[in-house]
């Protein structure tokens, strides 16, 4: 039986994350966003509080949180600003949980433990200048030379590119094999031939670092390969399942922020002698916001429940991500409409919410991709087969077929 009653631990995580956001993000985020300022010291503080190892088992330096707590953490961070949920997505969801699932014990001790402890910052590098959704067609190549690999290529739109210590990077050992040639590696900052740069001029998430990675004959010890040769696509897809979960949870938080701001303004602003909240069409926008948030939150929690029980959740996580991110865009549009001309100014937060919301309907699978995924499940073209791994809190030790 699915039970969505929050535990005392769930509520404590929610309260702690909200208190952190209210004290250390919200008072400053307007200025940070306006100036495009990234503040790594806030990420470090997140590590000190255990956020950067939230769902990682305690034996690997993590907090051992269940996936509902992890969702609540992501929701509260994005309720303040998307940039801080993004850190959870790439550092924890896309990198650390992939190492937990696919890494050897030596790799977990070497890379995962310091990441979970917040001592090292990590990211995930799959997207390339010419490759986004078509992840099996990577242009980055890697060749084996004895007990090492040599990697060449470029990655782009990589969150934390200029800040990360560890990079989970994907390249092809044989491009003719498409997805069966993709192989995963952990690169470490300081490796010869590895350079990074920051992208400027982003529409949103301006308080977060996004950049590119250049790899020019980077020599990688064989001990840094994650999984076997040709397993990289499976590593990437399983990691993206985790990343999508965090994005969905965060989008619920962004939509909640839109509703919070709209409710406040609807009570304060008066037209025709009464609060604008009394006007029926404003009520319609408020009601639709509230409805979409509740649906999104329930979809996220259903996926989280499946994760906690070690059950396959690709379909459910895709649906949660698709709905929640699309709804967050609409919630932001409606929030600006409710605010009228004031919504067009950064004196109010809703214009930032709109700019931030747009990224999430693109990364971790575009809305168009998730439309096709859900249609294929409904039509039977994609098999929604049952699949088990170890349930929380010992999740992540089975190498699962995708």
Give yes or no: 398 in active site: no
Rg of the chain over all Cα atoms, to the nearest angstrom: 21
How does pLDDT run across 71-117, given as a tens digit for each residue? 999 999 999 999 999 999 999 999 999 999 999 999 999 999 999 99
Per-residue pLDDT of 338-352, as tens digits, reads: 999 999 999 999 999
Q: Residue 387: what pLDDT? A: 58
Q: What residues contact residue 80 under an 8 Å CB cut-off, 6+ apart? A: 21, 22, 25, 26, 29, 257
Residue-wise pLDDT for 124-172, tens only, equals 999 999 988 888 899 999 999 999 999 999 999 999 999 999 999 999 9
Structure tokens at 356: 């931030």
- Asked if residue 304 has pLDDT above 90, the reply is yes
Residue ranges of the chain that CATH labels 1.10.540.10: 8-121
Residue ranges, comma separated, of all CATH 2.40.110.10 domains in the chain are 123-230
Q: What's residue 399's pLDDT?
A: 41
Q: With contact defined as beta carbons under 8 Å apart, do 334 and 289 qualify? A: yes
Taking a C-beta distance cutoff of 8 angstroms, is the pair 36, 199 a contact? no
In angstroms, the CA 225 to CA 364 distance is 23
- The pLDDT > 90 percentage for the chain reads 93
Dmax over CA atoms of the chain, in Å, equals 79
CATH class entry, domain 8-121: mainly alpha
Q: Is the pTM of this model over 0.75?
A: yes
Instruction: Please provide the distance, in angstroms rounded to a whole number, between the alpha carbons at the two ends of the chain.
Output: 26
Q: What is the phi-psi region of residue 153: left when phi exceeds 0, alpha when psi lies from -120 to 50, beta otherwise? A: left
What is the CA angle 174-179-183, rounded to 5?
Answer: 65
**pLDDT tens digits, one per residue of 4-61:** 899 999 999 999 999 999 999 999 999 999 999 999 999 999 999 999 999 999 999 9
**Which residues, in sequence order, are CB contacts of 129 under 8 Å at separation 6+?**
139, 154, 156
* Residue 8, C-beta contacts closer than 8 angstroms, at least 6 positions apart: none
Q: Residue 118: what pLDDT? A: 97
Answer CATH for 123-230 from 3.10.690.10, 3.40.50.300, 2.60.40.10, 2.40.110.10: 2.40.110.10
Alpha helices in 159-270 (DSSP H): 232-268
> Of these residues, 364, 383, 390, 398, which one is catalytic?
364
**Dihedrals phi, psi of 364, to nearest 5 degrees:** 60, 35
Where exactly does CATH 1.20.140.10 map onto the chain? Answer: 233-379
For residue 144, the surrounding DSSP H or E stretch is strand 141-145
Pick the CATH number of 233-379 from 1.20.140.10, 3.30.43.10, 3.40.50.1820, 2.40.50.140: 1.20.140.10
Q: Using 50, 70 and 90 to split pLDDT, how confident is the model at 394?
A: low
């Amino acid at each position: 039986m699915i039970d969505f009653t929050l535990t005392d631990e769930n509520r404590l995580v929610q309260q702690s994350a909200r208190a952190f956001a209210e004290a250390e993000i919200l008072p400053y985020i307007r200025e940070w966003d306006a100036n495009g300022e990234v503040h790594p010291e806030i990420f470090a503080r997140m590590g000190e509080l255990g956020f950067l190892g939230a769902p990682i088992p305690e034996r690997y330096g993590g907090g051992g949180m269940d996936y509902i707590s992890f969702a609540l953490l992501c929701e509260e961070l994005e309720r303040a600003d998307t940039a801080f949920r993004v850190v959870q997505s790439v550092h924890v969801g896309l990198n650390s949980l992939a190492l937990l699932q696919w890494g050897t014990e030596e790799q977990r001790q070497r890379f995962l433990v310091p990441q979970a402890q917040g001592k090292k910052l990590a990211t995930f590098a799959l997207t390339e200048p010419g490759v986004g959704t078509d992840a099996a067609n990577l242009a980055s190549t890697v060749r084996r030379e004895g007990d090492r690999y040599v990697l060449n290529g470029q990655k782009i739109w990589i969150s934390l590119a200029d800040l990360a210590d560890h990079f989970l990077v994907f390249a092809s050992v044989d491009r003719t094999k498409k997805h069966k040639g993709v192989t995963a590696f952990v690169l470490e900052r300081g490796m010869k031939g590895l350079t990074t740069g920051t992208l400027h001029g982003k529409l949103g998430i301006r308080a977060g670092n996004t950049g590119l990675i250049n790899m020019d004959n980077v020599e990688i010890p064989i001990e840094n390969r994650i999984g076997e040769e040709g397993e990289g696509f499976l590593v990437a897809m399983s990691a993206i399942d985790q990343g999508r979960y965090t994005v969905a949870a965060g989008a619920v938080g962004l939509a909640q922020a839109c509703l919070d701001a709209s409710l406040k303004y609807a009570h304060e602003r008066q037209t025709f002698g009464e609060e604008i909240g009394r006007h029926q069409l404003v009520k319609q926008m408020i009601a639709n916001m509230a409805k979409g948030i509740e649906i999104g939150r329930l979809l996220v929690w259903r996926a989280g429940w499946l994760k906690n029980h070690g059950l396959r959740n690709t379909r459910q996580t895709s649906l949660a991500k698709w709905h929640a991110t699309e709804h967050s865009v609409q919630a932001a549009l409606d929030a600006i409409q409710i605010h009228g001309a004031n919504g067009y100014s950064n004196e109010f937060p809703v214009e930032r919410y709109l700019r931030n919301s747009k990224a999430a309907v693109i990364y971790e699978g575009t809305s168009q991709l998730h439309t096709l995924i859900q249609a294929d499940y409904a039509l039977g073209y994609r098999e929604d087969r049952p699949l088990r791994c170890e349930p929380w809190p010992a999740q992540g030790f089975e190498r699962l077929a995708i």
